[in-house]
Amino acid sequence: MLRVPNFIAPPRALPPRVGRYLVALGVVAVATGVAELIFRVFGTDRLAVVFLTAVVVVGTRFGTGPAYLAGLASVAMNNIYLTEPRFRFSTFTHEDYLVLALFALVAALSGRLTGRLHAALARSRCESRDRARLLEASRSFHAAASEPALLADLTARLREVAGAPVPIFPPAAHEGGVRLEAGPVPAEARPVADLMLELAAGALSRIRAAEQRVELRTLERTAEFRQAVLSSVSHDLRTPLATILTSASTLRAFGDTLPEETVARAYADIEGEALRMNRFIVGLLDMIRVDGGGLEPDLHALDVLEVLDRCLGRPDLKALQMVRTWPADPVMVLADPLLLERALENVLDNAWRYAGAAGPVEVAVAAGAGTVTVRITDSGPGLPVEALGRMFDKFYRGSAAGRGDGGAGLGLSIARGFVEAMGGRVAAMPGPAGGLRLQLELPAAPTPIGRCA
CATH number for the domain that contains residue 361: 3.30.565.10
Q: How confident is the model at residue 396, as a pLDDT?
A: 59
Tell me the pTM.
0.45
For residue 403, the model assigns a pLDDT of 45
Q: Are residues 398 and 305 in the same domain?
A: yes
- What amino acid occupies position 313? G
Q: Does one domain contain both 247 and 338?
A: no
CA distance 138 to 140: 5
* Highest-confidence segment of 87-91, 145-149, 218-222, 395-399: 145-149
Residue 388 lies in a domain: yes
Mean pLDDT confidence for 72-88: 68
Q: What are phi and psi of 169, to 5 degrees?
A: -80, 155
Q: How far apart are alpha carbons 70 and 76 in whole angstroms? A: 10
Q: Is residue 274 domain-shared with residue 315, that is, in the same domain?
A: no
> Is 60 exceeded by the pLDDT of residue 448?
no
Whether 106 is covered by a domain: the verdict is yes
**What count of other Cβ atoms lies within 10 Å of the Cβ of residue 15?**
14
Comparison of pLDDT for 396 and 70, the residue scoring more? 70
Of 31-45, 197-211, 301-315, least confident by mean pLDDT is: 31-45
* 218 is a domain residue: yes
Query: Could you tell me the pLDDT band of residue 11, with boundaries at 50, 70 and 90?
Result: very low
Report whether pLDDT(8) > 50.
no
Q: Are residues 109 and 160 in the same domain?
A: no
- The whole-number average pLDDT for the span 279-294 is 64
Judge if 334 and 399 occupy the same domain: yes
Which own/partner pairs from 388-391 qualify as long-range (CB within 8 Å, at least 24 positions apart)? 388/428, 388/429, 388/430, 391/428
Q: Which domain holds residue 322?
A: 297-443
Based on the fold, state whether residues 31 and 53 are members of the same structural domain.
Answer: yes
My answer on whether 342 and 363 are in the same domain is yes
Residue 143 lies in a domain: no
Give the total number of structural domains in the chain: 4
Of the pLDDT bands very low, low, confident and very high (cuts 50, 70, 90), residue 79 is: low
Average pLDDT, the chain: 76
Where does a domain end: 290, 311, 329? 290
Per-residue pLDDT tens digits for 100-109 = 677 667 666 7
| Peptide linkage before 446 cis (omega within 30 of 0) | no
Instruction: Specify the range with the lowest mean pLDDT, choosing from 4-13, 28-37, 153-162, 263-272.
Output: 4-13
Residue 3 has a pLDDT of: 39
Residue 1 has pLDDT above 50, yes or no: no
Question: What is the average pLDDT across 163-185?
Answer: 81
Report whether pLDDT(63) > 90.
no
Let me know whether 320 and 366 are in one domain.
yes
- Do residues 383 and 425 both lie within one domain? yes
Phi first, then psi, for residue 386 (nearest 5°) are -70, -20
Specify whether 364 is located in the same domain as 425.
yes
Higher-confidence residue: 112 or 128?
Answer: 128
- pLDDT above 70 (res 176): no
Amino acid at 104: A
Higher pLDDT, residue 335 or 452:
335
- φ and ψ at 180, to 5 degrees? -120, 135
Q: Provide the pLDDT confidence category of residue 270 given band limits of 50, 70 and 90.
A: confident
Q: What is the pLDDT at residue 342?
A: 83
SS3 label, residue 321: strand
Is residue 142 in some structural domain? no
55-69, 87-101, 189-203, 316-330 — which one is most confidently predicted on average?
A: 189-203
Same-domain status, 286 and 302: no
Query: How confident is the model over 426-447, as pLDDT tens digits?
Result: 888 888 777 788 899 999 988 5
For residue 116, tell me if it sits in a domain.
yes
Q: What is the pLDDT of residue 334?
A: 92
Q: Find out whether 82 and 96 touch, Cβ atoms under 8 Å.
A: no
In a domain, 70, yes or no: yes
Out of 2-11, 199-208, 371-380, which region has the weakest mean confidence (pLDDT)? 2-11
What are the pLDDT digits (tens) for 337-348? 888 888 888 888
The whole-angstrom separation of Cα 345 and Cα 376 is 11
pLDDT of residue 318: 65
Q: What is the mean pLDDT of residues 171-193?
A: 81
**What are phi and psi for residue 177, nearest 5 degrees?**
-130, -145
Cβ count within 10 A of residue 126: 12
On whether residue 353 sits in a domain, the answer given is yes
Least confident of 151-160, 259-268, 322-331, 391-400: 391-400
Q: Worst-scoring range by mean pLDDT, 129-133, 135-139, 279-283, 404-408? A: 404-408
- Which long-range contacts link 120-126 to residues 24+ away (Cβ below 8 Å)? 121/8, 121/10, 121/11, 122/11, 125/10
Per-residue pLDDT averaged across 97-120, rounded?
69
The reply to whether 307 and 272 lie within a common domain is no
For residue 400, pLDDT beyond 50 = no
